[in-house]
Amino acid sequence: MTSTPAHERIVLIDDSTNDLEVTRRFLERRGFDVSAATSGEQGLALAQAITPAAFIVDYRMPIMDGFEVTRRIKADPLLQTIPVLMLTGADTAQTVVAGLEAGADDFVTKGSDTEVLLARLRALLRVKRYQDQLRKLNQQITRDLQIARRVQEALVPNGTFRGPHIEIRSAYIPSETLSGDFYDYFLQDELMYLFVADVSGHGLPASILVALLKSYIHTEADALKPLSSFMASLNDFLFSVSLPTQFATAQLFRIDAAGNLAYSNAAHPPFLLFQRSSGQTLIHESPSHLLGAMPSMVFEEHRLQVAPGDTLFVHTDGLTDRRNESGEFYSIDRIVALLNSSGDADLNTLYEKIYEDVSTFAATEELRDDIAFVVTRFH
């Protein structure tokens, strides 16, 4: 005989005193703690006091029948996960449909073999125990992810930066608790480094790679090393520490006080450069290899000259992957238009306009990805 966990509480609701007593005694002999009620109101009051493991409810009762009792149970946030076994007078399709619509989890024809009732009750309780375990596990995972999320947020630099020749505003808009989008900027040896990346996937695996990327960049940045060599080394490092299905796109910039800007690209979306002298925004695209997909890949270094008042805009592909219900993608041309019309505005004003345009774009949930972007003004 299958054992029953000690003292599992059952609320039994049946307006027939005789049937109620027979079922109660049978279940108590099988090890259940049974609280009996002869009306739906009384049964619901009992449930609020003891929070049972399951309900057994007769469907035909005066004033409040079993269907209404079940509806009220399933509408109560404290009771809605508790299974309801409904006792029916006849195993008719109409009764079963009405019970399912009310929220009943299973049915037993009243007066049938009590061992059938016991077997179905135990099956419901077994499922409930599994569900309770999953809920507890999910709560623990959620807590762990929240902690990891705070750690990841600490890896991203402050959204505002101002140096002798440069000013930065940045935004990080994750679609999930943990994101694979990442950016970083820091001064080292009088050079400004700006790095933006998008690690494949989401969640904890992506966030771990983000942490490794930040550590590597800060440790290995070298003013004497070409960015092409640096990116090749970073590629080999990422390949060695990532899962076979993981890779990243990335851009790395290095800027000196004279406005010499060097950059290397790893299959990342184009960046924008607003030139104050012409009042126009140029789109810079440099096709290249993914980062971490294959070892020993060759990358290139490119150079530009920036002047005071110029503005650099870099982003992850979550920006242009946003799509609304009508099928329209968020276009990088929207950013180009904002830069062309507001490029001479102070950086905070420009940033706020871009952020508002991005965040208010009505993207659907299934077509919303992580977004990171960095707006850099040169002085």
What does the pLDDT profile of the chain (379 residues) look like in tens digits? Answer: 445 555 799 999 999 999 999 999 999 999 999 999 999 999 999 999 999 999 999 998 999 999 999 999 999 999 999 999 999 876 677 777 888 888 999 999 887 788 999 999 999 999 999 999 989 988 887 776 677 667 667 777 888 999 889 999 999 876 665 667 889 999 998 999 999 999 887 667 777 888 889 899 999 999 999 999 999 999 999 999 988 889 999 999 999 999 999 999 999 999 999 999 999 999 999 999 999 999 999 999 999 999 999 999 999 988 998 888 888 899 999 999 999 999 889 999 999 999 999 988 876 666 556 788 999 999 9
Asked which of 140, 171, 195 is the last residue of a domain, the reply is 140
Beta bridge partners of 283: 272
Separation between Cα atoms, residue 234 and residue 365, nearest integer Å = 33
**Domain match, 175 and 40 both:** no
CB 251 within 8 Å of CB 195: yes
- Alpha helices (H) in 10-65, listed in sequence order: 17-29, 40-50
**Helix axis angle, 203-220 relative to 114-155, nearest 10°?**
20
Chain position carrying tokens 């003292």:
7
Residue 199 lies in a domain: yes
Name the amino acid, one letter, at 93: A
What pLDDT, on a 0 to 100 scale, did the predictor assign at position 17? 93
CB 330 within 8 Å of CB 363: yes
- Helix, strand, coil proportions of the chain in percent (round to 5)? 40, 25, 35
**Domain match, 122 and 166 both:** no
**Helix axis angle, 347-359 relative to 332-342, nearest 10°?**
150
Structure tokens at 215: 């550590």
Domain of 228, CATH number, reads 3.60.40.10
CB 352 within 8 Å of CB 312: no
What pLDDT, on a 0 to 100 scale, did the predictor assign at position 255? 97
Residue 145 lies in a domain: no
**Domain match, 209 and 84 both:** no
Instruction: Name the nearest CA neighbour of 284 among 310, 257, 246.
Output: 310
Asked which of 79, 111, 140 is the last residue of a domain, the reply is 140
What pLDDT, on a 0 to 100 scale, did the predictor assign at position 243? 86
What pairing do the DSSP bridges indicate for beta strands 271-275 and 280-284? antiparallel
Around Cβ 55, how many Cβ atoms within 10 Å?
27
Residue 99 lies in a domain: yes
pTM of the complete model: 0.67
Given CA atoms 221, 227, 229, 231 in this order, what sign does their dihedral have?
Answer: positive
Structure tokens at 376: 């850099």
Around Cβ 353, how many Cβ atoms within 10 Å?
16
**Domain match, 132 and 190 both:** no
Separation between Cα atoms, residue 66 and residue 338, nearest integer Å = 62
What pLDDT, on a 0 to 100 scale, did the predictor assign at position 1? 46
**Domain match, 179 and 113 both:** no
Name the domain count of the chain.
2
Q: What angle do CA 321, 253, 238 make, to 5 degrees?
A: 70
Residue 191 lies in a domain: yes
Separation between Cα atoms, residue 317 and residue 65, nearest integer Å = 56
What pLDDT, on a 0 to 100 scale, did the predictor assign at position 377? 97
Residue 360 lies in a domain: yes
Residue 151 lies in a domain: no
Residue 116 lies in a domain: yes
Separation between Cα atoms, residue 194 and residue 61, nearest integer Å = 72
Chain position carrying tokens 């060695």:
240
**Domain match, 216 and 300 both:** yes
In which order are the strands placed within the sheet that holds 9-13?
33-37, 9-13, 54-58, 84-88, 106-109
Domain of 24, CATH number, reads 3.40.50.2300
Task: Print the domain residue range for 58.
Answer: 9-140
Separation between Cα atoms, residue 226 and residue 302, nearest integer Å = 10
Around Cβ 100, how many Cβ atoms within 10 Å?
14
**Domain match, 55 and 116 both:** yes
Asked which of 113, 140, 167 is the last residue of a domain, the reply is 140
